[in-house]
Every structure is written in structure tokens, then in C-alpha cells.
Amino acid sequence: MEAAIVNEHLPTPLTATSEQPPLFDGTTRLYIAYTCPFAQRVWIFRNFKGLHDKIKLVPIDLQNRPAWYKEKVYHENKVPSLEYNGKVIGKSLDLIKYIDSNFEGPSLPYPNDPAKKKFAEELITYGDTFNKVVFASFKGDTVKEAGPAFDHLENALRKFNDGPFFLGHEPSLVEIIYIPFVEKFQAFLSGVEFQHHCRKA
Ligand SMILES: N[C@@H](CCC(=O)N[C@@H](CS)C(=O)NCC(=O)O)C(=O)O
């Protein structure tokens, strides 16, 4: 997986008082929130495919959301969503697959090896469970409840030893699915872990 580094100007998020960009004027727009891990998955993938000029980023301020987003753009009122070809579609994993099949650029390296393929599918399915378990653990005994979910990932990383990634020697869709969440959780949980040890000490 090799992508050129592009210095992209990141626009200011649109708020309740921002005007709606023209809808269905032929521009392909990816509505995101910069800090949303679901949106980050699709944003990473758009960059990986080198689609900076083809898919315009439209960041939304989720705390101060423009009403037109729900009313006119995406009724589910969530990010990410993609405006393309006269329609708006959502859901990060579906969007990655949709962009992969409908736009130019490299496809995600996907393993031929049946064992790796099966493992990739299992890990992608486990992604939702992982996120739910970790988010839910924030309300309870975080270390005890989230621990097994992280152990599951640690073990998954050890499964193929031909490289450091989930499927071995090259990063794949599995990394794109997990990285935005693991990065967020890691930052948050390093504080929790510290408190946990302090309470015990
Ligand atoms: N299943 C969706 C989840 C998207 C999602 O929950 N996005 C959050 C931000 S990280 C959102 O838009 N929340 C706004 C809301 O629920 O009102 C996906 O995979 O894209």
C-alpha cells in the first residue's frame, strides 16, 4: 500500500448557520466530522485511492449541526455520507466498498490466501463488537470489560507472522476499520489505566 503525500487544505466545519453547498450539482462530496472514527475510515480510504480531487471533503460540526444536513442531505443525520451520482449513501464500511468499486485508484490489497481471507472477514465483522464493548466499558469497570477486546486484537496481530499487520506483511481493510478507533481509545484509555493503577496503589 503506497500513497503519495498530499498537502490538502482542510476546510472549516459547517455549522448551523452555514449555507448548504449545492446538492447534486455533479460534485462528489464526502460529509465527515474530523474527529469521527467512522468518517475517518472513509477519509483514509479516499486518500489511499488518491481521490483528493474527485471526492470533496465537507466537514460538519456535529455539536452545532446545520438543519439542512438531516432535512436535505442525509436523513439519518450521521457522518460519514457520500453525495454521488444524484444520491446520498452512508455507513462507513459500505462506503469504503462502494468507493472501491465505483472510483479509480488502487484497490485495497486483499489476500488470496483463503485462511487470510477468512480471518479478514472475521475481523471486519468483529469490528462492531469491539467498538460496542469498548464504548460500553467506559460506563463500568473499563479495564476489566475492555481488556478482553484488546486481547482479542493483540492475538489477532500475532496470527500471521510474515509481517506486523493483521494479515501479515501488508496493511489491509482491517487496519482501516480499526485504526481510527484504536487510536481514539488508546488516547482515552491511557488516562483510565493510570487512574486504575492509582486506585490500586
Ligand atoms: N454505522 C455508522 C455510524 C456513524 C456514526 O455513528 N457517526 C456518528 C459520529 S462518529 C454520528 O454521526 N453521530 C451523530 C448522531 O448520531 O446524531 C457508520 O459506520 O458510518
At position 27, the amino acid (one-letter code) is: T
Nearest CA to ligand 1 atom 11: 78
The pLDDT value recorded for residue 110 is 79
The pLDDT value recorded for residue 111 is 86
The pLDDT value recorded for residue 3 is 56
pTM for the model:
0.93
The pLDDT value recorded for residue 189 is 85
Ligand 1 atom with least separation from CA of 95: 20
pLDDT in tens, 2-34: 556 788 999 999 999 999 999 999 999 999 999
Cell 500500500 sits at which residue? 1
Residues with CB under 6 A from ligand 1: 33, 36, 38, 62, 77-80, 90-92
Q: Are 80 and 95 in contact (CB under 8 A)?
A: yes
Question: What's phi and psi for 89, nearest 5 deg?
Answer: -125, 160
Best mutation site among 30, 31, 35, 38 for ligand 1, i.e. most ligand atoms within 8 A of its Cβ? Answer: 38
Domains of the chain and any CATH numbers = 1-108 (3.40.30.10), 114-200 (1.20.1050.10)
Under 8 Å CB-to-CB from 46, ≥6 apart: which residues? 30, 52, 55, 57, 99
Q: Are 173 and 124 in contact (CB under 8 A)?
A: yes
Best mutation site among 32, 35, 78, 124 for ligand 1, i.e. most ligand atoms within 8 A of its Cβ? Answer: 78
Ligand 1 centroid, distance to 67 Cα (angstroms): 16
pLDDT in tens, 60-112: 999 999 999 999 999 999 999 999 999 999 999 999 999 999 999 999 877 88
pLDDT in tens, 134-159: 999 999 999 899 999 999 999 999 99
Nearest CA to ligand 1 atom 18: 91
The pLDDT value recorded for residue 2 is 56
**H or E stretch covering 180:** helix 173-200
pLDDT in tens, 149-187: 999 999 999 999 999 999 999 899 999 999 999 999 998
β-bridge pairing 81-84 and 28-32:
antiparallel
Best mutation site among 79, 134, 173, 184 for ligand 1, i.e. most ligand atoms within 8 A of its Cβ? Answer: 79
Residue 33 DSSP symbol: -
Ligand 1 centroid, distance to 81 Cα (angstroms): 10
Q: What is the mean pLDDT of residues 35-62?
A: 97
